[in-house]
Amino acid sequence: MKQRLMTPGPTPVPEETLLELARPVTYHRSGPFRELLKQVTDDLQYLFRTENLVATLTASGTGGMEAALASTVPAGAKVICLVAGRWGERWRNLARALGLDVVSVAVPYGQAVPPRHLAEALRLHPDAKAVCATLCETATGVKNDIAAYGLLVAATPALLLVDSISGLGCVECRTDEWHIDLNVTGSQKALMLPPGLAFVSVSDKAWEVMDAAAGAPAFYFDLRRYRDALATGDSPFTPAVSLVRALKVSLARIRAEGIEAVWEKYARIAAAARAGVQAMNLELFAQAPAESLTVARVPEGIDGNVLLNRLEKQYGIKLAGGQDTLKGKIFRLAHMGHIDAFDVLTALSALELVLLEMGHDVEPGAGVAAFQRVLAESVAAPQAV
């Protein structure tokens, strides 16, 4: 059976990128590798919409988040964590593990954190050294208003740290314009690569904080080491050379398409996916949905685990379920990276078939037709889908 990976990370990797991974390993302390690192750093700046340095770390996304936090906020200092789900909680748990004084600004699952909550927290905690936010809360499918947070934080001495792991390269994200001081993403989502690399952009404001500090209680995650090594074209530690080479292939693909065009494409796909899901009498879970994934509630009387298992076993479609308290209650369908409109159409078709089998009240064809209608409206002029 044909297999289709549609989880919000890892996402499918294009064949040309996979083949790059199969090429022989090369030495990293060499002219060609320095050239490559220069090229991907430039491509990452394009992707991040930033003039700032973007460090490439060999680590999961969480490693990038730890690098951003450990490099800039000393133990005991205060941070404001905006929490709209499991990944906001990741910032909070990370900050606590690092011995920081955490102010948690939380909302119920399914909601975004309103900027006015952040404004209030900043007013109450003018001594906060950093604000930790999440672009797309992958656990719930919610998108937070990073641009609004950026305006608020830029007016204070605090730094804005954003986890854009599940979104950057798919969802609009303007690092410099939105005043994001440390923007963290990972390889295995919109960047169309296997997991293993994390990327962190660093603003001048953040470098100033780091350079004024005695030093980070970290070594591998001390971002200054990446800056110093990049100054001579190098990586401070042996990088995952195969993944860095593959990164170049994937980033070239995004650059060729144009990042704004990619954002628009996924906005269209996401709108169509939401229409399709709702036409199947399913309730959307996210109140402020992200363009990178669609999350819906599993209908009453249907076991979410059985639903996902049938999708996988009968139709080869791998969606993700809910995590922790949301286990069995929601499903999550990714549309980012190497997943296009027709892949989403396929997933909706299979989903409808399984829902019908399981006795859910849905008109056969309603989901795919609604998806198609929205897509057709948005592509009146010829555009990539």
> Could you list the residues that contact its own copies (CB under 8 A)?
3, 5, 7, 9-13, 18-19, 21-29, 58-63, 66, 75, 93-94, 97-99, 186, 188, 194-196, 215-222, 237-243, 318, 320
- Count the neighbouring beta carbons within 10 Å of the beta carbon of residue 72: 24
Closer of 50 and 294 to its own copies (Cβ): 294
**Exposure string for 192-202, b = 16+ CB within 10 A, e = fewer:** bbbebbbbbbb
Which residue, 219 or 342, is less far from its own copies as judged by CB?
Answer: 219
Task: Using DSSP, state whether 242 is helix, strand or coil.
Answer: helix
Minimum CB distance to its own copies smaller for 93 or for 287:
93
Least distance (Å) between residue 236 CB and its own copies: 8
Q: Which DSSP category does 52 fall into?
A: S
Classify residue 59 as exposed, middle or buried by CB count within 10 Å of its CB (0-12, 13-18, 19+).
Answer: buried
Least separation in angstroms between residue 123's CB and its own copies is 29
Which residue blocks in 290-340 are alpha helix, DSSP H?
304-315
Min dist. Cβ of residue 311 to its own copies (A) = 13
Residue number with CB closer to its own copies (33 or 266) = 33
Q: Which is nearer to its own copies, 22 or 380 (CB)?
A: 22
Q: Provide the minimum distance between the beta carbon of 152 and its own copies in the complex, in angstroms, as a whole number.
A: 26
Residue closer to its own copies, measured from CB, 18 or 366: 18
DSSP 143-154: E--HHHHHHHHH
The closest alpha carbon to 81, from 161, 173, 178, belongs to 161
- In whole angstroms, the minimum distance from the beta carbon of 317 to its own copies comes to 12
Side-chain half-sphere CA neighbours of 231 within 13 A: 6
CB of 214 to its own copies, least distance (A): 10
